[in-house]
Amino acid sequence: MLTTLFSTNTEIVGLILRMTVGFIIFPHGAQKMLGWFGGYGYTATMGFLTSTAKLPYIIGLSVILLEFVGSLMLIAGLGTRIVALGFIGLMIGIILTSHLQNGFFMNWFGNQSGEGFEYHLLVIGLAVALLIGGAGKYSVDQLIVQ
């Protein structure tokens, strides 16, 4: 089981994929957890997720932890397949609850009622590639299965 979860190749592609996803998601997680990058921090974000978005507390907590801790785990290459699967689920959930009604395209020109879901599909695609290929070069996962 551990071998299946943590096995990876030593190619640079996995490194590039996980750094891309990790560094893109990290600021979002830091906004939610710490209030960095113009975010509201843990308490306000949980208030929004549970009151306004009507998510159960455990789901709100999972979103914050996945984006913050999960992005750091991806950058380190630790539990890459598990985190990638979490990001796939997260992005599907975000599309279905918040962006599907706005269509595909992002709201570059401010003429839509909200953002589309093209960004989320990109993250899903990158996460699927990580799920299949693993963490790649310079990863903690690589050290676990040696």
- For residues 57-85, average pLDDT: 97
Query: Which tops the pLDDT comparison, 124 or 145?
Result: 124
Is the Cβ–Cβ distance between 41 and 33 less than 8 Å?
yes
- For residues 65-81, average pLDDT: 98
Per-residue pLDDT tens for 104-137?
Answer: 998 888 888 889 999 999 999 999 999 999 999 9
Task: Determine if the pTM surpasses 0.75.
Answer: yes
Per-residue pLDDT tens for 74-95?
Answer: 999 999 999 999 999 999 999 9
Domain segments of the chain as ranges? 2-144
Is the Cβ–Cβ distance between 77 and 10 less than 8 Å?
no
Rounded to whole angstroms, the Cα distance separating 135 from 64 reads 22
Percentages (nearest 5) of helix, strand, coil residues in the chain? 70, 0, 30
Is the Cβ–Cβ distance between 66 and 90 less than 8 Å?
yes
Per-residue pLDDT tens for 2-46?
Answer: 788 888 888 999 999 999 999 999 999 999 999 999 999 999 999
